[in-house]
Amino acid sequence: MKTIAIQGQAGSFHDEAAKQLYGDESLSLSCTSFAELAEKVEGNDAEVGVMAIENSIAGTLLPNYNLIMSHGLNVIDEIYLQIDQNLMALPGTSIDDLVEIQSHPIALLQCQKYLRTQTTATLVQSTDTASSAKLIAQQGLVGVGAIASEHAAKRYGLEILATGIQTIQQNYTRFLVLSKKPGEHDPGQNKASICFRTSHETGALGDVLGLISRANINLTKLQSIPIPESTWEYDFIADIEFPTLGVLDNIMLQLKEKTSQLTLLGSYRGGLHNQQQILKKQAQL
């Protein structure tokens, strides 16, 4: 049975992503923070960690890249999870019965239109979505609702009062799978995450991007992140898609000549293609 470090409680979106990747028989090791998650993987308390890295609405979780690099972790997989927020409470509760609704502040923000128009309950921030559901179930809190996933409602025996209450329906979070060891060699790998640093010279970044373009490699993400020990200096995180591992090896050699620092964070099978299939199917319904 694989042990997977996640941020949040069982029933959280991190837990749901882990279960989709490794099955219901896997064991989720709950962590109170992303820093603790990285520490558990580095310390071999968990075989892998599942960490959110970006959301289609809120953007990139920049500190998580620093955690990945400072703990020497490797990206070995990814998954895109549609985030559907649901209002839930103890069985037999109606929306009109609610005097308080708890959830993570981001979840409350994502559902603000519904909450503003459909209820007068007091909104209370919590550490994460699943912990709100768990608290209601364990303490039998009457008149208190939670905003969380369907996965959380099933786990804690709560009744869903309203489904899909997020304001923007197409809401996805990308999760990275992290390991202390590099991923196994897989000829099906078609995506990589790299970190590089360029000199402070005119055209230095353009030279790097030109190399990637001429190699017929698809740049799916380019993100600058502050270098903690250097004020106003930045590293660049890039996600690239390539046809073969040989093409990846070749571009890494070329990039080494154009960068002052270059790190392969990991190569893996890209999950974006699967997400595109899901979106295409949804559009046909």
Cα–Cα distances (Å) from 160 to 109, 125, 156, 186, in that order, read 19, 19, 11, 41
191-273: CATH topology:
Alpha-Beta Plaits (3.30.70)
Task: Give the Cα-Cα-Cα angle 195, 198, 199 (nearest 5 degrees).
Answer: 160
pLDDT tens per residue, range 36-49: 999 999 999 999 99
Q: What is the dihedral of CA 176, 182, 188, 191, to 10 degrees?
A: 50
Banded pLDDT at 200 (limits 50, 70, 90) = confident
Domain boundaries, the chain: 3-83+171-179, 86-162, 191-273
| Confidence check: pLDDT of 138 > 70 | yes
| Confidence check: pLDDT of 274 > 70 | no
pLDDT value of position 185: 80
Same fold, 3-83+171-179 and 86-162: yes
Class of domain 86-162: alpha beta
Banded pLDDT at 280 (limits 50, 70, 90) = low
Amino acid occupying residue 26: S
| Confidence check: pLDDT of 79 > 50 | yes
Prediction pTM value: 0.89
Mean pLDDT of 182-191: 89
CATH architecture classification, 3-83+171-179: 3-Layer(aba) Sandwich (3.40)
pLDDT value of position 283: 56
